Structure 1
Amino acid sequence: MDGRAGRRCGTAAALALVAALALVGCGSGADGQQDSAGAPAANGDAANGGAADRDGAASAPEGAGAGAPDLRVDQRAIIYTGTMRVQVNDVDEAARDAAAAATRVGGFVGGDQRRSAEADAVAELQLRVPAAKFTAVVEEIAKLGKQQSREISTQDATEETVDLDARITSQRARVDSARRLLERATSITDLVSLENELGRREADLASLEAKKRRLADLTALSTITVSLVGPAVKTAEEKDDTGFLVGLRGGWKAFVVSMTVLLTVLGALLPWLVALGVPLTVLLLVLRRRRKTPALVAPVSAPPPVPAARSAP
């Protein structure tokens, strides 16, 4: 019994030792595999996370910009329009200086109308200048003489610009779609119908693009209408339109104009009066003389009859 018990205990101890060694080996192998597998996973996650962060950082501005337009003040589409009236001593010289002020900043003269005179000369200039230089040019023109009036207006065209861009993009997609359908047309009816539709869509696209170019021109170049007047030209406030002297002056001007018209008409008729009046006058005189000549000659009357002699009773 003791020998068997000793052998059983020895066998059990051996089995327990083998099992313990196996468990230790398996645990070590599992831990090694877990460590070796966990490190690449962590490194992969870190790499993916860094790449995701970089991609997110790179794509963030695009997403923000595509979602809504940039509505900052310096990014808005503003149309500036100005009207000025400046009284100067020399209108021609001031007009040259105003045109030079516009061309110096990259603009140009869009219109130039002048009325030459000594003291009441007037020059009307339409200047197109970049929007960023609008205020500077206005201030420079105001220093050419005595500024009598100034009116500046602005129009915010940002929403219209964004709307046009969206409509142009959509219309281009419609044109491309119509072209693809036209390429796959198999019948004459479909071909004609698609050609008409494509032409209509292309015409709408051209109209939208023309509006966009016009709007871009207005926002890129501002308009300044400048009136340069001589020292003798009065403003509307300085003019007196009532009173006895004003009425007398107006009546005298009307009388002078009427006499001028009358003399002009007489001057135009005088050659005809000379050419036709002289012969007609001579003819009338001759006829009158012929009528008076028979009346001056007395008619010869017959002698009175002699009475017959009476016979004696």
Structure 2
Amino acid sequence: MATLVTLLALAGCGSGSDGGVDSAAGPEQGVAAEDAGSRAGAGERGGADAPAQQGGSGATDTRVEQRAIIYTGTMRVEVDDVEAAAREAISSATRAGGFVGGDQRRSTAADAVATLELRVPAAAFAPVVEEIAGLGRQQRREIGTQDVTEETIDLDARIASQRARVDSARRLLARASSISDLVSLENELARRESDLASLEAKKRRLADLTALSTITVTLVGPDATTSDEEDEAGFLVGLSAGWRVFLTSVTVLLTVLGAVLPWLLAFGVPLGLLWWVTRRRRQRLRADAAPAGRPTPGQQPTPPVEAAVSAPPPVPGARSAP
């Protein structure tokens, strides 16, 4: 570990040492060179933006075009022919350079519904939306935007810094002189490369969302309801929903009963007969084992014959002697 600390110290002090230190010992030299290149690029961008800033209103347009914006849209359009309208919407997206991200369709005797998820370039977002709205009678449209310019710039800076850290770890790994240093540096390099891959994946996902906008289109037939189910309210809507839940519960109950009934017939009936026969047999054994003068279970005791004959019947109103 002392060698590892020495290598890290040399790497940290390499950029501040004199010309006698080897350039491979200082990973910060690459970072400093990259920072210098970044400053040079920033100066070039600043020089390119200066005329635009002097141009007044042109500067605003340039800044808007350079921003990273995610466009999303949701539409509901009533059409006469759902299948034909779905084909037209897909054709509009493909002509603009996009593709179909999802396609769900339902056709019944009462109504027909098609839900399409279209991915189109950001520059063609508005024209495609207007083309789809012209396919029929538009019932709903929701357009949303999300500005991710600052997040994109932050990701670029973090990726550049992480790449420099990966290069530094690789140079230190090449100079490792012991097994312990080699293992430690390999683990550190793997961790840094994993972080770099995660940042690059986020950048690709963000670039995909900004380059291709998402339009979710719902095409409904003329017999479909004009409003979404989640926007409906009232007694009849609640009654209808409750009736559907009741029917669903009854269906589930009957399904469970149908699944359990064969098992009841196969095992429940024999077990019930066995229990009844066993119970009858126990009662018979108890009756046989009881003494002659002892009443059996369920039988009323009978008084002795002598007592019943000698005892005179009671006289009504008679009082017993003291």
- Which band: TM-score by shorter chain? 0.5 to 0.7
Choose from 117, 121, 129 the match for 2:120.
129
> 1:261-304, CA deviations, whole angstroms, 9 ceiling, x for partnerless residues?
87xx89x98xx9xxx9xxxxxxxxxxxxxxxxxxxxxxxxxxxx
Shift of residue 241 of structure 1? 3.6
> 1:79-130, CA deviations, whole angstroms, 9 ceiling, x for partnerless residues?
0000001111111111111111000010000000111123411111000000
Distance, in Å, in 2 between the alignment partners of 1:188 and 1:67 is 51
Q: Does 1:63 align with 2:43?
A: yes
Q: Residue in 2 aligned with 1:206?
A: 197
Distance, in Å, in 1 between the alignment partners of 2:77 and 2:130 is 12
Contact 1:82 1:152 in 2 (8 A): yes
Q: Residue in 2 aligned with 1:296?
A: none
Distance, in Å, in 1 between the alignment partners of 2:252 and 2:182 is 74
Distance, in Å, in 2 between the alignment partners of 1:101 and 1:121 is 21
Choose from 195, 210, 219 the match for 1:219.
210
Number of positions where the alignment pairs a residue of Structure 1 with one of Structure 2: 215
Matched AA of 2:108: A
> 1:186-236, CA deviations, whole angstroms, 9 ceiling, x for partnerless residues?
111111111111110000000000000000000000000011111111114
Q: Does 1:194 align with 2:194?
A: no
Q: Residue in 2 aligned with 1:78?
A: 69
Alignment RMSD (CA, Å): 3.9
Shift of residue 255 of structure 1? 7.9
Q: How does 1:33-48 map to 2 (within 5 A)?
A: none
Distance, in Å, in 1 between the alignment partners of 2:232 and 2:100 is 31
Matched AA of 2:235: T
Q: Residue in 2 aligned with 1:182?
A: 173
Distance, in Å, in 1 between the alignment partners of 2:170 and 2:248 is 74
The 3-state SS of whatever aligns with 1:175 is: helix
Q: Residue in 2 aligned with 1:151?
A: 142
Q: Residue in 1 aligned with 2:163?
A: 172
Q: Residue in 2 aligned with 1:113?
A: 104
Distance, in Å, in 2 between the alignment partners of 1:117 and 1:189 is 70
Q: Residue in 1 aligned with 2:273?
A: none
- Structure 1 residues 92 and 191 mapped into 2: Cα distance closer, same or farther (>3 Å)? same
- Structure 1 residues 180 and 66 mapped into 2: Cα distance closer, same or farther (>3 Å)? farther
Distance, in Å, in 2 between the alignment partners of 1:252 and 1:216 is 45
Contact 1:119 1:231 in 2 (8 A): no
> 1:124-153, CA deviations, whole angstroms, 9 ceiling, x for partnerless residues?
100000000000000000011111101011
Contact 1:172 1:205 in 2 (8 A): yes
Contact 1:119 1:230 in 2 (8 A): no
> 1:152-177, CA deviations, whole angstroms, 9 ceiling, x for partnerless residues?
11000111111111111011111011
Q: What is the TM-score normalised by the length of structure 1?
A: 0.59
Q: Residue in 2 aligned with 1:162?
A: 153
Distance, in Å, in 1 between the alignment partners of 2:73 and 2:157 is 30
Distance, in Å, in 1 between the alignment partners of 2:162 and 2:47 is 20
Q: How does 1:84-95 map to 2 (within 5 A)?
A: 84-95=75-86
Q: Residue in 1 aligned with 2:235?
A: 242
Distance, in Å, in 2 between the alignment partners of 1:81 and 1:61 is 33
The 3-state SS of whatever aligns with 1:72 is: helix
List runs of 5+ in structure 1 lacking aligned partners: 1-58, 277-313
Q: What is the TM-score normalised by the length of structure 2?
A: 0.57
- Structure 1 residues 258 and 177 mapped into 2: Cα distance closer, same or farther (>3 Å)? closer
Q: Which has the larger radius of gyration?
A: 1
Distance, in Å, in 2 between the alignment partners of 1:195 and 1:248 is 64
Contact 1:84 1:227 in 2 (8 A): yes
Contact 1:95 1:123 in 2 (8 A): yes
> 1:228-268, CA deviations, whole angstroms, 9 ceiling, x for partnerless residues?
1111111148957425x985997699689969987xx89x9
Distance, in Å, in 2 between the alignment partners of 1:184 and 1:246 is 74
